[in-house]
């Protein structure tokens, strides 16, 4: 099965997650390609697509949004999963869960309207002190905030394995490409 894992990353942590997801899926599914969204001309040669973007200012990076818009018609014909990479696990403990939930809701309400998704997950990436202005850094740490590589590989693996299992099942049965053309993949 030919699967695309596409990503938009400013500082590399989303790319790292995309490469990890692609490598793990490839063990079970075979041909899984990992590419920057800017490298992709068309998704028509892929049977399933996973797209991830870093979050900046409560939204996906522009290249990832453009990828969705430009390929909406083709994406809507195949199963698509999305992941967003932010910094909710850097927040003071009390706000982490709520922060992640609110951000997930906001992203889903403002984006992804053109393409039905099989699933969307928000992960934390790498958030370094240098990314925050110095006066705020001290306050952030004092109130329980933290910096560093906050990627939860166990959660990423669990999400990847869930997608892999769905794709493996569908390729055994009617086949991903066997979906009737007028039926959205997320239906
Ligand atoms: C300018 C800027 C804005 C950001 N805005 C958000 C945001 O709104 N929500 C969030 O959760 N994280 C935000 N972050 C944190 C990044 O999403 C996080 O560091 C992520 O790991 C970056 O992924 P990347 O390494 O692939 O670029 C922001 C980071 C930067 C540099």
Taking phi over 0 as left and psi of -120 to 50 as alpha, with beta for the rest, 12 belongs to left
For the CA of 127, the closest atom of ligand 1 is 19
- Domain range summary for the chain, segments of one domain joined by +: 3-165
Answer yes or no: are the C-beta atoms of 1 and 29 closer than 8 Å.
yes
* Helices and strands of the chain, counted as H and E runs: 6, 8
Q: Give yes or no for residue 55 CB within 6 A of ligand 1.
A: yes
pTM for the model stands at: 0.91
Residue 89 has pLDDT above 70, yes or no: yes
Judged against a pLDDT cut of 50, whether residue 184 lies above it is answered with no
Output the CA 131–ligand 1 centroid distance in Å. 9
For ligand 1, atom 1, the nearest C-alpha belongs to 56
Q: Is pLDDT above 90 for 1?
A: no
- Taking domain 3-165, whether its CATH number is 3.30.310.50 is answered by no
How much is the average pLDDT of 162-171?
92
* 3-state class (DSSP) for residue 105: helix
pLDDT confidence bin for 179, thresholds 50/70/90? very low
């Amino acid at each position: 099965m030919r699967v695309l894992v596409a990503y938009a990353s400013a500082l590399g942590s989303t790319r790292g997650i995309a490469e990890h997801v692609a490598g793990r899926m490839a063990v079970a599914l075979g041909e899984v390609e990992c590419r920057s969204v800017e490298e992709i001309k068309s998704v028509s040669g892929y049977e399933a697509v996973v797209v991830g973007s870093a979050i900046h200012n409560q939204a996906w990076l522009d290249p990832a949004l453009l990828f969705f818009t430009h390929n909406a018609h083709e994406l809507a014909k195949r199963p698509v999963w999305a992941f967003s990479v932010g910094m909710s696990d850097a927040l003071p403990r009390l706000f982490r869960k709520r922060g992640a939930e609110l951000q997930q809701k906001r992203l889903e309400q403002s984006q992804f309207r053109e393409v039905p998704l099989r699933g969307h997950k928000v992960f934390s990436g790498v958030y370094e002190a240098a990314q925050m202005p110095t006066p705020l850094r001290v306050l952030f740490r004092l109130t329980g905030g933290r910096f560093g590589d906050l990627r939860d590989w166990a959660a990423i693996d669990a999400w990847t394995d869930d997608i892999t299992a769905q794709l493996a099942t569908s390729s055994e049965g009617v086949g991903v490409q066997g979906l009737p053309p007028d039926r959205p993949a997320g239906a």
